[in-house]
Structure 1
Amino acid sequence: MSTDLRDVAIIGSGFAGSLIASSLAEAGMDVVLIEAGLPIEDERHVRQWRREIFANSDEAEIFAPYADLLAPQDREYKSEYYVQEATGADRFEGQYLRLAGGTGLAWLGTALRMCPNDFRMQTTYGRGRDWPISYADLEPWYCLAEEATGVAGSPEADVS
Structure 2
Amino acid sequence: MTTDHRAQVDELLADYRRSRDQLASVQRDLARISGSATSPDGAVTAVVDAKGALTDLELADGAYRLRPAQLAELIVRTAREAVARAAEDAYRTLSPVLPAGTDPEALLRGTADLRPDEIGAEGVRPPGPAHRRAPVDDEDFEQRDWLDADAAGIPSPGPTARRTR
Task: Please report the TM-score for the alignment, with normalisation by the length of structure 1.
Answer: 0.22
Higher normalized helix content (fraction of residues): 2
| Greater Cα radius of gyration, structure 1 or 2 | 2
Task: Please report the TM-score for the alignment, with normalisation by the length of structure 2.
Answer: 0.21
